[in-house]
Amino acid sequence: MQKIAKWMATGVAGLMAWTCAAEPVADGAKDRAMWVEKMLQIVAPVVTNLEAGTLRANIPRRAENLTAPFTELEAFGRVMTGFAPWFELPDDDTPEGRLRAAWRPRLLRAIANAVDPQSPDFLVFASDKGRQPLVDAAFFAQGLLRARKGLWEKLPEKAQRQTIDALVSSRATEPYGNNWLLFAGEIEAFLLEVTGSCDTNRLRMGVDKFAREGYAGDGYYADGPRLSFDGYNSFVIHPMFWEIARTMERHGIADGAKYVALERRRLRRFADLQERMISPEGTFPMAGRSICYRFGALQGLALAATLGPEFHPASDGAIRAAMTAVLARQTHPRNFRPDGWLEVGFNGAQPELAERYIGYGSVYLCTAFFLPLTLPPDAPFWTAPAEPWTCKAGWDGAPVRIDHAFNEKQRR
């Protein structure tokens, strides 16, 4: 843990120098520096331990956690979801670029350890003791799909081959008939991208179901026979539907283009609602299961912001300001254990909020929030002046956008 503390101190010092420069710094640059600092603080224990081969030895555990045998894959797979895309940007001679240059080889070594059967931290991608590895194999694949150039193509050939073997092994696990179908599809989407082939049935079964049966209306999918007001539209359904559909379209698979057009409209409405649900104080509804994933519940908005204005009606400056307010509230020191790991809870150590499938690895799905860091610093999301977001403007008595439910027959 001393090594982690040293690296974190170096990173924070660099970021502080960046934000405290003599020249005035735009509010977007300040926000971005804060986002990078918080992201590195969150991922550091997972990545540095896996790089050193000590993740299995050092990660905390909850005795009541039913998925405890797979805690290591939970932690790393979920870190990859939001951390990996940052490495699509170059290691340039800026404070952030130098941080990326320092972290890229660490993450590549961590990936290699995760898939090497000789590593003490070789992760379990399939097991006869439970289906959970399928979930986090999918998050791992999602991270690699989002960082094909920045990470996948920089992995040694041996690590690439072992990664493919590990993900193929997950086919032994049959998904449940809900959002889990998309986990199987996400893995196959990545395999199709890097090998040119996949199990087409597993690739399609989730998007086929959610396109034809699962849409509940107004931007929401029902995760099963009935709609549940929880975070799974954002944790899984919208992001994985989009990525699988885009992969299908790129590879000329039937219905790919149709599903992309469908999801573009549905994601836009969903992201609009997510932005509208951020309160003037930078909070969002604490409702539904898996709330210990914290601001990972805003992945849908983060994805839309990353994809561009076509995917969200709110301004870039308003979305960034709203998300930054949330990030500041949920990265209070009480969210971290003394040894640097995330606490299990929503805004602090609140184990009473954890379902039995949630452990110290599970909570790292919050990193999905950081997707907009895939955008370069000169992208409009980061350069636009901060603006009041919808709830803040409305409650302050300022002009605000009127809201309309989304009819599926609309074209927006």
Give the Cα separation of 125 and 169 in Å (integer). 7
Write down the pLDDT at residue 33: 97
Nearest to 400 by CA among 390, 409, 410: 390
Write down the pLDDT at residue 412: 36
Write down the pLDDT at residue 21: 39
Tens digit of each residue's pLDDT (9 = 90 or more) over 80-107 = 999 999 999 999 999 999 999 999 999 9
Nearest to 142 by CA among 39, 251, 240, 40: 240
Asked whether residue 43 is domain-assigned, the answer is yes
Residue appearing with tokens 């909020």: 353
Tens digit of each residue's pLDDT (9 = 90 or more) over 369-383 = 999 999 999 999 999
Asked whether residue 412 is domain-assigned, the answer is no
User: Structure pTM?
Assistant: 0.93
Low pLDDT (below 70) residues in the chain = 1-26, 409-412
Contacts (Cβ under 8 Å, ≥6 apart) of 157: none
Write down the pLDDT at residue 6: 54
Write down the pLDDT at residue 25: 46
Give the structural domain span for 33: 2-395
Write down the pLDDT at residue 272: 98
Asked whether residue 405 is domain-assigned, the answer is no
Asked whether residue 410 is domain-assigned, the answer is no
Asked whether residue 166 is domain-assigned, the answer is yes
The CATH number for 245's domain is 1.50.10
Number of separate domains in the chain: 1
Write down the pLDDT at residue 407: 80
Residue 274 near residue 234 (C-beta atoms within 8 A): yes
Asked whether residue 411 is domain-assigned, the answer is no
Asked whether residue 406 is domain-assigned, the answer is no
Residue 141 near residue 190 (C-beta atoms within 8 A): yes
